[in-house]
Homo-oligomer: A and B are copies of this chain.
Amino acid sequence: MKTKSVKAALVQHSHKGSQDENLAHASTAIAQAADSGADLVVLQELFAHAYFCQTEDPAQFDLAGTLNPGKPGPILQSLSELARQHGIVLVASLFEKRAPGLYHNTAVVFEKDGSIAGRYRKMHIPDDPGFYEKFYFTEGDLGFKPVHTSVGTLGVLVCWDQWFPEAARLMTLAGADMLIYPTAIGWDPAENEQENSRQLDAWLTVQRGHAIANGIPVLACNRWGFEPSPDGHTSGTRFWGNSFIVGPQGEWLARASTDQDEVLTAMIDKQRTEHVRRIWPFLRDRRIDAYDGLLRRFLDE
């Protein structure tokens, strides 16, 4: 049975030093979220690890685990147990080993009974200095399919996806009730403050834009804290926190700090989406007869 409103919680934290410590932190934060009445808890991207994509290091593949429900690894088992124990829907971003030499950046959605409701493999993979994800992750091949859960149909996307209006639109067209972005984004400490301010504002704005263009709430859960470059070839990354929840007009419901562990909560009222889509019926007027060019790389030929 679907509920009319959902209390959502985003778990924003710094890297705690090890997988065990990150899992322990998540466990405490999930308990806190559930105690406050949350039905839905979202963890940040690759929450169990340092953001290991700052270098291209084959040894980091040791961090990945298979996400086969029949043979669950320790992280999968712990998360399933946390979802069941607290009776929450849980969105967790994990490093998936699919086969030798084949890895994905995958979000797993657990139902309140601890079962796996579905998963999403990150479709758009970044690669820029300090974010060498194309070395680690194969592009997702599950498409833009939302996950059906007891708290609604969740349009789970991951980090770099947040810059692509196509991803948000496709999840909306596939019936998502909300968009959820586990993410890991931050500043280059060597960059100037004006550029840093523009980048954070752009990150908030483009995602609020997806909310508005689709009449859909958006939840983004980011890590915070400085993580040094393992090999010193960059200045490291200062992850900027600012996890947030906005409603279907892009209106602010909750926003976290730049530099604190937080369990950020907000009520998401599904009736608001219905209301907003009636007054702003964008889906009615899409010119699908004239959108062919969207399937091309560039319209230069």
Contact = CB atoms under 8 A, between A and B. Distances in A.
B282 A163 contact: yes
Contacts of A1: none
Number of copies: 2
Given A170-B294, A288-B295, A299-B174, A212 B202 contact: yes
A30 interface: no
B290 A296 contact: no
B286 A164 contact: yes
A234 to B, nearest CB: 14
B290 A164 contact: no
Interface of A: 123-126, 128, 139, 143-144, 160, 163-166, 168-170, 173-175, 198-199, 201-202, 205-206, 208-210, 212-213, 249-251, 279-283, 285-288, 290-300
Given A205-B205, A212-B206, A280-B163, A173 B298 contact: yes
Contacts of A293: 144, 170, 173-174
Nearest to A300: B175
Contacts of A299: 170, 173-175
